[in-house]
Amino acid sequence: MRPRAIHPACARRRPGSSRAGSQLLGLPALGLGAALFVGGCGVATPEWDLVLVSLDTTRADHLGPFAQDAAARTPALDALARESVVFEAAQSAATTTLCAHTTLMTGTWPHRHGVARNGFTLNPGNLTLAELLSSAGMDTRAFLGSFALEARFGFDQGFAQFDEAFEVFVGAGGADQNQRGGPAVTAAALRSLSEVPPQAPLFLFAHYFDPHAPYAPPASARPAGLPVGLVGDPLTVERAVRAGQRRDLGVEGPVPGLAGAVQAGLSPELVRRHDPTPAELDRQLAALYAAEVEALDASLGALFDGLRASGRWDRTIVIVTGDHGETFTEHPDRWNHGLGVHQTVAHVPLMVRLPDAHPLASARGRRVREPVGTIDVLPTVCGLLGLEVPPTAQGLDLVPFLQSGEQPPRRALVTEATQPWQGLEDGARARGQWLNWLKPHAVREGRWKYLNAPYLQTEQLYDLEADPKEQRDLLVGVSPGGSPEDPEAAAALRRLRAQLLQWFGEANPLPSSFDASQAEETAARLRQMGY
């Protein structure tokens, strides 16, 4: 653990500089990779507490603040949204836990921070939000729901307390990694409040893992009518994936399944022939997932109630976001996150709750339609706390747009897959490219979204206003490298292709290495459990 470290970037302050983003109003849309670099970090101790809540594997369309027809009931988040600015179209930078969270905590793209996927280590040359706030005098505490963010991977950088006391271990109930449920995360976080002096500014990071497989909600939240004993454990999910792949391909024999696709990838035929219609088992798994989200919301309600009881609520900014969602059967990456970059995994919740006394409290209840990214969280925290954005950040401070009431500028926001890994990372490394170069990427700009999967030699284009579920690829029937007939779609395609190429050209990752201990421990325990 590296508590209260002062990163070199935080040792400098440019006299007389203003917060990043204040000069953006009225400027045209930023090009891909545009970043706000402001020298130094603020040194004045913030007067506000910050609670950053990350909802792992949580689809935004299952939460009341983000969908009128949400599949789950989320009263705690619904109530919080009434005191929040809700960003309706937040995009994650990556679709697995560690890579996405590293972007959240550094405000940098994966091909800058260097963490390609789970198991890679965070280079200490990165400046994290915890380091930044620690150097500003805040008490920094983290409470994990999953092994994917363990200290062994360097994610503890800058936290004075880093609680990874898991209660469920690999193999138990189908768990694919060490973890703990929402009630335990909330209880640990609230217990720690008694250790913080009442007037000491606090940064609390709470990571909730409940919606992640296995889909096994508590008995009190379990939907009625499901087969007795059914849980979404690895074997059941694998069975659902293989059944769907066999139906898509019209075969009875071997198919890659989920495990095979994660390692070696999908096939062009699976992509081309995919049928999104769920089977009965898929519907049952979706019901279990929704119940997990409802149980998660109850844990969040307990956290918010505990903060109120502690007396800190009136000074607490709460940011709720996520790392990625989960594809069910909508796309070929069935029951997965990591293989694809569609909205089922790329669209994440993001809302910022502001206390009554905060200068921006008048923005509460506002809904921001323009897409933003989780890469924007760190610079926006700086704006909310009155700190300067560090020069390392590549995201956007959204505070000036909350002040003005204007929409943030239209930008290209990239989401990258971190799977499959077999052969692709070595191939990218041999070419001197970013390790995820051959994996699927998506770039979104306003209503348009372009997907490119180099290892599959496929590309797709979607109009998210007309087709929010991404079921009508506008490039179907278009020759490779060609353009659709619609002039607006053709212009968007040319622009997004160029922006993605520019984004790749800006890759300059900090060194990172794969720590195999997690994978080895997980494999050994699963073998012991008969998986």
Pair 522, 234: CB distance under 8 Å:
no
Q: Is 447 part of a structural domain of the chain?
A: yes
Per-residue pLDDT 10s for the chain (531 aa) are 444 444 555 543 322 222 233 222 222 222 222 222 233 344 578 899 999 999 999 999 999 999 999 999 999 999 999 999 999 999 999 999 999 999 999 999 999 999 999 999 999 999 999 999 999 999 999 999 999 999 999 999 999 999 999 887 776 666 678 889 999 999 999 999 999 998 899 999 999 999 999 999 999 999 999 999 999 999 999 999 999 999 999 999 999 999 999 999 999 999 999 999 999 999 999 999 999 999 999 999 999 999 999 999 999 999 999 999 999 999 999 999 999 999 999 999 999 999 999 999 999 999 999 999 999 999 999 999 999 999 999 999 999 999 999 999 999 999 999 999 999 999 999 999 999 999 999 999 999 999 999 999 999 999 999 999 999 999 999 998 899 999 999 999 999 999 999 999 999 999 999 998 766 766 665 565 454
Q: Is 463 part of a structural domain of the chain?
A: yes
Instruction: List the alpha helices (DSSP H) in 10-115.
Output: 75-81, 97-106, 110-113
HEC sequence for 143-163: ECCEHHHCHHHCCCCECCEEE
CATH number of domain containing 452: 3.30.1120
Q: What is the model's pTM?
A: 0.91
Q: Is 498 part of a structural domain of the chain?
A: yes
Count the domains in the chain.
Answer: 1
Q: Is 61 part of a structural domain of the chain?
A: no
Q: Is 157 part of a structural domain of the chain?
A: no
In 3-state terms the chain splits into helix, strand, coil percentages (rounded to 5) of: 35, 15, 50
Q: Is 457 part of a structural domain of the chain?
A: yes
Query: For residue 482, what are the domain limits?
Result: 415-505
- Collapse the DSSP code of 316 into the 3-class scheme (helix H, G, I; strand E, B; otherwise coil) and give the result: strand
Q: Is 496 part of a structural domain of the chain?
A: yes
Q: Is 425 part of a structural domain of the chain?
A: yes
Buried-exposed string 162-186: b where 16+ CB fall within 10 A, e elsewhere: bbbebebbbbeebbbbbbbbbbbbb
